[in-house]
Homo-oligomer: A and B are copies of this chain.
Amino acid sequence: MADIFLALLHHPVVDRNGRLITSAITSLDLHDIARSSRTYGVRALYVVHPISDQREFARSVIDHWHIGYGRNFDSRRVEALDLIEVVPDLDAAVAAAERAVGQRPELVHTSARETQGLSFAAMRERMAVEDAAPILIMLGTGFGLAPAARERADLALEAIRGTGDYNHLSVRAAASVILDRLRGR
């Protein structure tokens, strides 16, 4: 079964008007997506931010749960947060994944706005093949990945569809649904 990596990007992403921004790291994203990652066997969750103060903030969230009160309070949070690596850009995430499994991961792009792309069923089959390449799924914060990030992807997954036209899952919800479709039992 192909290894899955996640990269949570805070840049380059867009705001509600499609303008290029750098979003702030929120601790709840780290907790929620780390717990979903641990549940579905993700190898590592790369938290990507170009600003060193923001990367320090992310590390402080993780460290809080490693010492004293945090660790005793809930060891399952530590187990999830241990999947996180904080890196400055996508290239660093790709390099770290390659070091971990000895093979460059395929970059997979998912977007709320895509109407085309590989189906989740096809992706799941593809990942079940022996020697399938590891994948790194790029998740955009804010209002989604900027074109410059999407263009880096080797392949696109179909959009998550619910029952109608409304399609605005939070990045936390989208991450869990993507992982469940690719890895859920």
Contact = CB atoms under 8 A, between A and B. Distances in A.
A79 B173 contact: no
B76 A166 contact: yes
Contacts of A161: 184-185
A160 interface: yes
A180 interface: yes
Contacts of A177: 176-177, 180, 184
A3 to B, nearest CB: 11
A22 interface: no
Given A16-B74, A177-B177, A185 B170 contact: no
Pairs A-B, 7 closest by C-beta atoms:
A41-B163, A173-B176, A39-B162, A40-B162, A161-B185, A32-B170, A177-B180
Interface string A24-55: 00001001100110111100000000000000
A69 interface: no
Contacts of A169: 35-36, 39, 176
Contacts of A164: 39, 41
A181 B162 CA distance: 10
A31 B170 contact: yes
A71 interface: no
A162 B41 contact: yes
Interface centre among A36, A168, A179, A180 (most CB of B within 10 A): A180
Contacts of A36: 169-170, 173
Contacts of A32: 170, 172-173
A82 to B, nearest CB: 11
A183 interface: yes
A164 B42 CA distance: 11
